Structure 1
């Protein structure tokens, strides 16, 4: 197929994906702002945020992963013009996301003792506890927000979650400034101030998105007068069947990056702080791929509803191509700026922590070179996952992600990440191995399924 058949889809793909990307970046910017501001306090504080967020990321992956089941169901119903089907998918998804958010908060609250038995630096564990409490509670509004966001995405209204996230980020930055450093007469709370900023901003984000959707004529009937407890077993089971595997897919990937944080903690607070810098920067570029993944999910879901499988394959592959172009650009940026980017996170003029700061920057610079290498495969695997979710194919991709990250990636990280091996770089080589394996297997799965659907449609004709 000629290149022009892919390129002509770029404009609409980016129109859908750009608001999602900006919204996703907004989530990451909350962490980015926290890291930069907290990094001015010292490497122990930055490592504490890293340790606390390692628990948060695992729980968040389950909540966000589960919520993605809403988007393809709503997109399919929207393409069919079936209001009842779309509202049912949203209502049941909202109920399940709210329940899951509460369960995850309680689970995190009682998981804090694990930090003390994980061979992490004690000063880091002490700082991380209060931070974890508040950010754990912020998961409740965040995951409820995800239900509204995934519904909005499924209706191809990807701008609204972006607006809500921008508002939330502005509030987060303001609260961080006054509470982390004790400005304008407020108490100086350090990393606890960062946690309060995250909590407040996520409640505001949820409320703002609901107001936007409730005011729009096209979506008002979906998000108002919701009989939240009038549920059907069939709809619940369908969402769980889609959302459960999707949650596990995201969990397997996030968990291996979390394991990288814990393995880095064993190497010391400076290695852990450096890992957090590289991980935070990589997370921001990853949000572009995540946005494209949502676009793939929406467009594939629409084409599935129309049963146009040839166009489905072409459109999905056009999104893969866009992701590849972005990934190459990010890889080059990491290579060019690998020495300077870590300086954003530390106070190089602090003589008290000068030796620690130098070591953090040195390690982080090396890790960014590893991050540059896996930009392409990381982008491809998540965009293909989005396309497979649009096809409502979730079970085999879940098995693929488990094999890639935990049977291939983690063993490499574990053995090469020891102090007497390659240390922090070895941990990230394991991440590269897992992401590459996932990208190759998931791409094969997508090709196999779409060719099968096209053949079946041809035979039926």
Structure 2
């Protein structure tokens, strides 16, 4: 039996791994946040269109990211076994899958206007969203490539470079947005199309930087030598682990995208308020995503070593860190809702007070779902570290679409509770997912411990 490290040792290790990941996620979030803030200052209809288009894009993008997330525990496990060949094989095939996926979803983004109109959005908002998505379609491939490379580096615990590259990208995005949205520094005023072009530019630059780092610092993996050569066995293994992750993510992100559609039925101001409140809640959630990623890497490495005592001790510590972050977040949401909302809306906008008033109630609901969302995503990360992805996929489908979406429609639309009712439905869906995923992880952990003791 391997002697488990104490809690303080685990906390230091998780923070050393997790803090750069949290910072990287926050920097990545800042890219979308910059778009939202600048578009909010440009115009309310454009902000509403960006909210809708952003939900559409990220629904597709995060489903495709399942193949990137699949290799994080795989790389961590292979690295723990010092198997560099398997690290290379898994990463390459994740890149292959990302290329195929990006080509498949291109038509959906190109003809997004008709899709959005068909689901009840106004012609004006749908057409502006399509302008954004047609440009952003060309950024799907580099965006997915960056996700694969980030997962590869995170699995190897090279997390600081992920942080710095993402910070550079966030800064560049802010500058290019300022230039292209408003027509500054001699550039044409492009509005929402400028925000899309800025995002594509930053994704291409990020991909270039992260590939250069991988080739120069980790030449032993030879990721791009004979890249064209197929590896169907590993292709299948990454696909089998990744598609349930993609569908799990799609279930959650699709829930929020569908909630944006419901908010759109309530009008432009509720939709704009929803977009701002969701950006604020998502920013706080990046902390939990970073901790979840750290949990995946640590659990994957512990599984590779057969180190069940430290697997359990590490899980306890990452859950504790997530709880601490939730307490701070909830306090901020409840104490400073007007200040937080006010950052996103032009003080001269005639709809500012109405948007803030609507968003204030949504932030109160967001404080509530931070608790359950943190619990579900951290346990999801732990399960991915154990390469358990299919049962969580089923849990997500049941919780988000069997409970969350029907309740959001019931409370928000049918009963007339408005935006707060829609968000209450989201809370209930996330709560069911949190409970079921917690039960699944500790059940799986007990099975692994029992098997380890039997073999020992």
Aligning the two structures, in what range does the TM-score lie when normalised by the shorter sequence? Answer: over 0.9
Deviation (angstroms), 1:65: 2.3
Deviation (angstroms), 1:320: 1.1
Alignment deviations for residues 405-438 of structure 1 (CA, whole Å, 9 cap, x no partner): 0001111001111175211001100110011111
Q: Quote the Cα distance in structure 2 between the aligned partners of 1:227 and 1:152.
A: 20
The aligned residue for residue 267 of structure 1 is: 266
The aligned residue for residue 30 of structure 1 is: 31
Does structure 1 retain, via aligned residues, the 8 Å contact 2:112–2:130?
Answer: no
Q: Quote the Cα distance in structure 1 between the aligned partners of 2:46 and 2:154.
A: 36
Deviation (angstroms), 1:95: 1.2
The aligned residue for residue 393 of structure 1 is: 388
The aligned residue for residue 454 of structure 1 is: 449
5 Å matches for 1:69-84?
69-84=70-85
TM-score (norm 1): 0.95
Does structure 2 retain, via aligned residues, the 8 Å contact 1:79–1:305?
Answer: yes
Deviation (angstroms), 1:122: 2.9
3-state DSSP of counterpart to 2:158: coil
3-state DSSP of counterpart to 2:208: helix
Does residue 1:445 correspond to 2:446, yes or no? no
Q: Quote the Cα distance in structure 2 between the aligned partners of 1:367 and 1:459.
A: 51
Deviation (angstroms), 1:316: 1.6
Q: Quote the Cα distance in structure 1 between the aligned partners of 2:407 and 2:205.
A: 42
Deviation (angstroms), 1:349: 2.1
Q: Quote the Cα distance in structure 1 between the aligned partners of 2:40 and 2:101.
A: 32
Deviation (angstroms), 1:228: 2.1
Does structure 1 retain, via aligned residues, the 8 Å contact 2:92–2:223?
Answer: no
Q: Quote the Cα distance in structure 1 between the aligned partners of 2:223 and 2:258.
A: 41
Q: Quote the Cα distance in structure 1 between the aligned partners of 2:92 and 2:347.
A: 50
Alignment deviations for residues 158-181 of structure 1 (CA, whole Å, 9 cap, x no partner): 112222111111111111111111
5 Å matches for 1:330-341?
330-341=329-340
The aligned residue for residue 251 of structure 1 is: 250
Deviation (angstroms), 1:145: 1.1
The aligned residue for residue 174 of structure 2 is: 173
Does structure 2 retain, via aligned residues, the 8 Å contact 1:148–1:210?
Answer: yes
The aligned residue for residue 20 of structure 2 is: 19
Alignment deviations for residues 69-123 of structure 1 (CA, whole Å, 9 cap, x no partner): 1111111110001111111111111111222222223332233311112222332
The aligned residue for residue 151 of structure 1 is: 152
5 Å matches for 1:289-438?
289-350=288-349, 354=350, 356-418=351-413, 421-438=416-433
Q: Quote the Cα distance in structure 2 between the aligned partners of 1:107 and 1:317.
A: 42
Q: Quote the Cα distance in structure 1 between the aligned partners of 2:209 and 2:82.
A: 27
Deviation (angstroms), 1:460: 2.1
* Structure 2: stretches of 5+ with no match in the other structure: none
Alignment deviations for residues 168-203 of structure 1 (CA, whole Å, 9 cap, x no partner): 111111111111111122111111111111110010
Does structure 2 retain, via aligned residues, the 8 Å contact 1:267–1:419?
Answer: no
Q: Quote the Cα distance in structure 1 between the aligned partners of 2:340 and 2:414.
A: 25
Deviation (angstroms), 1:48: 0.6
Does structure 1 retain, via aligned residues, the 8 Å contact 2:91–2:223?
Answer: no
Q: Quote the Cα distance in structure 1 between the aligned partners of 2:29 and 2:180.
A: 20
Q: Quote the Cα distance in structure 2 between the aligned partners of 1:252 and 1:225.
A: 33
Residues 147 and 76 (structure 1), Cα distance of their counterparts in 2 relative to 1, 3 Å cut: same
The aligned residue for residue 163 of structure 2 is: 162
Does structure 2 retain, via aligned residues, the 8 Å contact 1:101–1:141?
Answer: no
The aligned residue for residue 139 of structure 1 is: 140
The aligned residue for residue 57 of structure 1 is: 58
CA RMSD of aligned residues (A): 1.4
Q: Quote the Cα distance in structure 1 between the aligned partners of 2:224 and 2:160.
A: 23
3-state DSSP of counterpart to 1:228: coil
Alignment deviations for residues 304-337 of structure 1 (CA, whole Å, 9 cap, x no partner): 0001112111112211111111011111110011
Q: Quote the Cα distance in structure 2 between the aligned partners of 1:225 and 1:122.
A: 45
**Count, aligned residues:** 452
Does structure 2 retain, via aligned residues, the 8 Å contact 1:335–1:368?
Answer: yes
| Deviates further, 61-70 or 248-257 | 61-70
Does residue 1:183 correspond to 2:191, yes or no? no
Deviation (angstroms), 1:7: 3.7
Does structure 2 retain, via aligned residues, the 8 Å contact 1:121–1:269?
Answer: no
Deviation (angstroms), 1:129: 1.6
Q: Quote the Cα distance in structure 2 between the aligned partners of 1:7 and 1:337.
A: 33
Q: Quote the Cα distance in structure 1 between the aligned partners of 2:300 and 2:56.
A: 32
Does structure 2 retain, via aligned residues, the 8 Å contact 1:92–1:228?
Answer: no
* Structure 1: stretches of 5+ with no match in the other structure: none
The aligned residue for residue 227 of structure 1 is: 226
The aligned residue for residue 212 of structure 2 is: 211
